[in-house]
């Protein structure tokens, strides 16, 4: 993890944040704590990130790490930041001081669209990532000459399926798309945190995942 100075405005913001006696910091995992990698399992917390998370804990800052990955895929990372709370699958799976994951069962409706997307996952370099309330198709490693057709075809299949499934939506990501139930929204994490930590109202969010 590389940390770069952000100028006077960033320094001022940091001073303001640090002045709060009880602070919760929501950090995005991929793209913030971890650089993007061809496959999620190839990305890990480096020594600098682990030390930073430990220092934040020692400073009395409550850290919440937010990810769109499945909770199973980040289990190994959680060991590297045991004092943090972890949020997976866009806010639907949560792990707090109990060290136990809690989340929903898989939606049976996703089986049909997952089956249709499986044809695109057979393209070299593509893969499908099933989750409880969504399914994601990744194409970062797909050869450039094959990407455009894959993307157009996958978007068309998803959009046709969504015409009869209004509770779901198609989300565009970095080298991927995801069909997700509308209830899977990271914004719900803030309300959950305030219920679990009453009286602690100062939260700061860093990263793309924490803003969607």
Mean pLDDT of 38-66: 87
Convert the pLDDT of each residue in 152-208 to its tens digit: 999 999 999 999 999 999 999 989 999 999 999 877 888 888 887 766 555 555 555
pLDDT tens, position by position, 21-43:
678 888 999 888 988 777 767 77
pLDDT of residue 42: 74
Quick one: angle between helices 110-121 and 144-162, nearest 10? 160
CB 1 within 8 A of CB 33: yes
* C-alpha–C-alpha distance, residues 85 and 64, integer Å: 5
Task: Select from 200, 181, 182 the least CA-distant residue to 190.
Answer: 200
In the structure, what pLDDT confidence band is assigned to residue 11 with cuts at 50, 70 and 90?
low
Q: Tokens at residue 119, please? A: 């044809």
Sign of the Cα pseudo-torsion (30, 31, 35, 36, in order): positive
Cα of first residue to Cα of last residue in the chain, in angstroms, is 23
Cα–Cα distance, 132 to 135 (Å, whole number): 8
Q: What is the pLDDT of residues 103-119, one digit of tens each?
A: 999 999 999 999 999 99
Distance CA 108, CA 133 (A): 9
pLDDT confidence band for 17 (50 / 70 / 90)? low
Q: What is the pLDDT of residues 60-92, one digit of tens each?
A: 889 999 999 999 988 889 999 999 999 999 899
């Amino acid at each position: 993890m590389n940390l770069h100075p952000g100028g006077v405005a960033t320094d001022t913001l940091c001073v303001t944040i640090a002045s709060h006696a009880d602070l919760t910091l929501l950090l995005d995992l991929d793209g913030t704590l971890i650089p993007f990698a061809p496959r999620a399992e190839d990305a890990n917390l480096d020594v600098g990130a682990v030390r930073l998370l430990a220092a934040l804990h020692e400073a009395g800052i409550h850290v919440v790490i937010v990810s769109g990955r499945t909770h199973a895929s980040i289990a190994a990372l959680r060991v590297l930041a045991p004092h943090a709370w972890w949020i997976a699958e866009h806010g639907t799976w949560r792990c707090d001081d109990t060290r136990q994951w809690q989340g929903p069962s898989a939606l049976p409706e996703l089986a049909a669209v997952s089956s249709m997307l499986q044809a695109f996952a057979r393209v070299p370099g593509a893969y499908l990532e099933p989750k409880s309330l969504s399914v994601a198709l990744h194409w970062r490693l797909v050869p450039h000459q094959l990407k455009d057709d894959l993307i157009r075809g996958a978007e068309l299949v998803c959009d046709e399926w969504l015409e009869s499934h209004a509770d779901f939506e198609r989300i565009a990501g970095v080298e991927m798309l995801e069909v997700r139930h509308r209830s899977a929204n990271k914004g719900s994490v803030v309300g959950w945190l305030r219920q679990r930590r009453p009286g602690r109202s100062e939260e700061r969010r860093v990263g793309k995942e924490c803003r969607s």
